[in-house]
Amino acid sequence: MRTQVVIVGAGPAGLLLSHLLGLEGIDSVLLERQTAEYVQARIRAGILEAGTVELLRQTGLGERLDVEGMEHRGIYLQWPGNRHHIDFTGLIGRSVTVYGQTEVTKDLMAAREKAGRPAYYSAADVTLHDVAGKPYVTFVDSDGAARRIDADVVVGCDGFHGPSRSSIPSPQVWERTYPFAWLGVLADVAPSTDELIYAWHPDGFAMHSMRSPRVSRFYLQVAPDEDIAQWSDDRIWTALATRLGVDGWTLQTGTITEKSVLPMRSFVSTPMRHGNLYLAGDAAHIVPPTGAKGLNLAVADVSLLAAALTASLRGNGELADAYSETALRRVWRCTHFSWWMTSMLHRHGDDFDAQLQLSQLRRTVSSLPAMTELADNYAGLPL
């Protein structure tokens, strides 16, 4: 088989890249080691930046988003006895939208099927060859047959553990592992807040998010090696009520349907291009989820890369040559913002560190420039 672009990884980044290329008449084939059902069911990020929302709308993917997405004008920052609203729309004229990654994936899969773009799920032994010259990819399909696809370009959207990143020789890597994790909880209960709550507390960070008008998402700061079996439903609700509590506000409880421990780290690998191999999303960078940047950063990579590849395959390689450097400028800005939010809100260090965090929180909610800086980064830089 031959195609113009082989995309390794059929999560949101790979699916969106295939969709954007298809709109420009560029052929692509998707390879994914998991089943389609597994990919569609993965629960990940749920906050879409303004630019992400606009891109999905402009490319025909906004129908369900406009009906089911929950627009949010800002967030609450909180510490004991204090809860303050940061009004993104009032400060910068942009908002964010709560719309789960599972829903984005469903929309992208439906668009792929409608367009008839080929994809191989349950692909095993995916191996990249001659990426610096005339690239091709070999794999074993779901029926056990060995296959080969020749292409002009290979794009790795296959995450940290996929084969694409390891195909770039001698990468430079930066990494920060944080001394805490999140206990993530999904519950069948209507949100107890109109906007997301980010709460600093002496017992550890807590967050109240949501997935729909009927489903809420919560996070609690825990140790990286936390035993999830020690967290009963009652213990979770008690901890959330304590860390999120303020006078005159009540946390509504319900049936907990999912619990998981999420590690916290920052990771950047450069370059994001080697020959005819390009990386996008988690294959090149990972951010802690505090700043809601993971999915949005992957979308920014793919938006940039789709334009670059379209121009390159038509004879103009200028954007493709600049892809890695251009993408990394945004990657490092988002990495810094995610580090800043994480460092400010998570209890770590000693009491001296705690006072520094509280000082930063007071400054952030009382200074117009500080609030504007938070809003501008959280709602998203222009694509």
Residues known to be catalytic: 72, 198, 289, 293, 378
Which token pair is 219? Answer: 């996070």
Q: Is the preceding peptide bond at 271 cis, omega within 30 degrees of 0? A: yes
Backbone dihedral region of 64: left (phi > 0), alpha (psi from -120 to 50 degrees) or beta?
A: alpha
Residues 15-52, buried b or exposed e (16+ Cβ, 10 A)?
A: bbbbbbbbeeebbbbbbbbbeeeebeeeeebbbbbbbb
Rounded distance between C-alpha atoms, residue 126 and residue 123, angstroms: 7
Half-sphere exposure of 55 (CA within 13 A, CB side): 27
Strands (E), the chain: 2-8, 28-31, 47-48, 70-72, 74-79, 82-87, 96-98, 119-120, 124-129, 136-140, 146-156, 172-188, 196-199, 206-210, 216-222, 255-270, 273-274, 277-279, 285-286
Query: Which SS3 state, helix, strand or coil, does residue 327 take?
Result: helix
Q: How far is residue 225 from each of residues 182, 233, 235, measured CA to CA in Å?
A: 11, 19, 18
The 216-222 sheet, strands edge to edge: 82-87, 74-79, 196-199, 206-210, 216-222, 172-188, 255-270, 285-286
SS (H, E, C) 284-314: CEECCHHHCCHHHHHHHHHHHHHHHHHHHHC
